[in-house]
Structure 1
């Protein structure tokens, strides 16, 4: 405990780190205050109807409750994430965008600009669908056409402002701005979910023992998630020994840490964004809302939804790993620095070996990620409160674990850079070694 307070004191002594933490907290406070500001022209009755269920409930969790409150930040950063997904897909399929990705900093700036333009378009479409599904004509204090047009602009501006806050947290704060905004929205739902489940068990079925068992199960899922997030496969790399004068250069053995889940939370985010499509279609085409397949796809506890969701996660895990971990570039960099994997020839053989290792560790990583993603549905089926069940896995838990570990890593890097002790006894966060720089698309979302 003494070491903990000493570390907190050291964090506060570093002026740059202190300013970044304060900036981050202030930006997050602005976001939370804005999430309680209701759209203009909406009656007081609309916020008490509790219409955030199913997949819509998940979106409400990512938005920190803004969705159900009909807030100006109701759509959160999901349109921006969807735009990022589209741009990354275009980078694979369209040569113009693929070339742009290879242009370094200028190319990334162009892609970010395109992403912002696409965010505006997606937000406008989602805003219109949101207003149609969440606000009925009798809840509008303004005439219908004017209400929809005006609040489409307001929702679009709200999403762009949240996106700007995320970028400012990344630049002026401790980094991972968009991720932190989503994490804060998720954490804001935790106290209410905890209290609701406690009351449900103590006053209803199960009793206190069942509630304690649920907490133990939740702890086990969190530990399992941390193992998946931090798990790495180390590849030994030997560097050739050179003697210049009386000094020896190289001749040391190092390791390339390949993460079991190199894609992080992005596969679940990608899959979740696609799973929102049926709900969007149902809002634009009311006659199709009664279709049995659409109903199953919108029910996050249905077998069809979870099957498609798991398959999408596995596919996107391979896809995102392929575009973020470039085995060929790693092999070339290794060869340029006179490095080699023991028993493997430099060049194409090294490339094939690394690619084979990545493929082998990505399969179990993607399956475990899919299991974590569907645990909330299983928890809900066995009687856990819907809101509390969402913390048993899925996007919310992966985001919480990943963002907390990344934020701790950011803080630890500041401490170690100024010769202070890290947050852990070992001086570094175990398993948080990042993969060496590779060419390809830089993640713009989370």
Structure 2
């Protein structure tokens, strides 16, 4: 009876902590959404809104999507989380190729804190560059209020944008630590979902006005459902490698029977991170070229504008670069988070082996070969899902409510969120059972 009574208590404790984390997550998202409506001082919001209406299918639309609409309103959070993502990409690559940073990473928690500090400073530097270019483009295009002193406007606007980017970085880290899920992914998810009601409303309005056939709207709904089902199946897909443990001599009882388990390897080990990284890398130079071209005059401005158009959405070069970046980041990020040699060494130390494969170096090569094949399939799947809706939008002129990148981020973040909620609840149940079992065994002895 005591054991049965302890489980509801553990569940209540687990639910209490889970509810506290959920409340913090909701509060953080609410603060983020409120911040997207606070404009940068000196910017004329009506002119900026007209600019985005005229450039809805360009690179500005992609930047606005990742900022949750903050860029369209030119709010203090207009830069969004992209400077922090870009800084994280640079630091991860530098850690992989720089011996000093790699040694710092191996120092444990202290080393990771130092790398995080470097990432924050790099975020400030990238945000400063983006803010200066954005404000210069706005001022040069006449989107600032007249009568303002140019120097005062630049200082205030740049400071507001950089402060907003730093706040977004801090908020994402707080969600990761005190909320549920990855903070960066949750903020991007919140920004994408915030635009869904207006997109659905526009689709129904287009259907009512006759611009979109009702049958086409129904087919788009079925296609979106099919893509979501496909993404869920692929994200749950895994290759299970059989692992056996050697027989052990236990006293006079003889040998213990061999125990068989499995080493699961996911088809998509990198999750949604490659899509976010690839989008960030592609948007950064394109947005700078867009604003620099708007602010510049003469031949230089024309060249920058042409460059922004060449790598903008709907262009063949955009598809090629985006696909290459996604595939490359899938392999890079998988190599960073999963080390086959380390896994093989841990199996060898634990007395486990792969049937038919010698422990050690051969097991590492075997795991690496399987992981490489899985990453090929996973990277092609992510690239296809991310690019197919864009191709339908810009090539076949078919309206799609949610782009492939957005759809992939939403589905994967929701799956990760639900998995972490279940893991959080299960951990409290098992902790209570183990503590109770240990106390009972010690008491009997």
TM-score by length of 2: 0.86
- Does residue 149 of the first structure (1) align with residue 159 of the second (2)? no
- Return the match for 2:145 from 140, 146, 150: 140
- The size of the alignment, in residue pairs, is 408
Instruction: Tell which deviates more after alignment, 234-243 or 63-72.
Output: 234-243
C-alpha displacement at 1:383, in angstroms? 2.6
Which residue pairs with 1:284 in the alignment? 292
- Is 1:353 equivalent to 2:353 in the alignment? no
Match of 1:27 in 2: 28
Let me know the Cα RMSD of the aligned residues.
2.2
| Cα separation, 1, equivalents of 2:98 and 2:378 | 29
- Contact 2:390/2:403 (CA < 8 Å) preserved in 1? no
Matches of 2:120 and 2:365, distance apart in 1: 37
2:213 is aligned to 207
Q: Answer with 1 or 2: which has the greater Rg.
A: 2
Task: Say whether 1:366 aligns with 2:379.
Answer: yes
Distance (whole Å) between structure 1 residues aligned to residue 310 and residue 326 of structure 2: 15
Q: Deviations over 1:186-224 (max 9, x none)?
A: 000111111112222331334211101111111111112
Distance 1:368 1:150 in 2: 44
* Structure with a larger share of its residues in helix: 2
- Judging changes above 3 Å, is the alpha-carbon distance between structure 1 residues 250 and 351 closer, same or farther for their aligned structure 2 residues? farther
Match of 2:404 in 1: 393
Say if 2:311 and 2:317, in contact at 8 Å, map to a contact too.
Answer: no
- Superposed CA offset, 1:114-139 (max 9, x none): 00000000001111122233454353
- Contact 1:169–1:175 under 8 Å retained in 2: yes
1:415 to 2:425 alignment:
yes
Structure 1 Cα separation of the partners of residues 177 and 134 of structure 2: 31
The Cα of 1:392 is off from its aligned counterpart by: 4.0
| 1:69 Cα deviation from its structure 2 partner | 0.3
1:34 deviates by 0.9
Residues 117-266 of structure 1 correspond to what in structure 2 (within 5 A)? 117-134=121-138, 136-137=141-142, 139-140=144-145, 142-245=148-251, 246=253, 251-266=258-273
Whether 1:308 and 2:321 are equivalent positions in the alignment is yes
Are 1:383 and 2:397 an aligned pair?
yes
**Whole-angstrom CA distance in 2 between matches of 1:278 and 1:42:** 22
Paired residue secondary structure (2:334): helix
The DSSP-based 3-state class of the residue aligned with 1:255 is strand
Cα separation, 2, equivalents of 1:340 and 1:411: 33
Structure-1 residue corresponding to 2:443: none
Q: Deviation per CA, 1:352-388, whole angstroms, max 9, x where unpaired? A: 0001001111111111111111123112132334xx4
Q: Which residue of 2 aligns with 1:75?
A: 79
1:265-321 Cα offsets, whole Å, 9 max, x none, are: 222222212212133134335344534861443321111110121112112211111
**Structure 1 residues 248, 63: closer, same or farther in 2, change over 3 A?**
farther
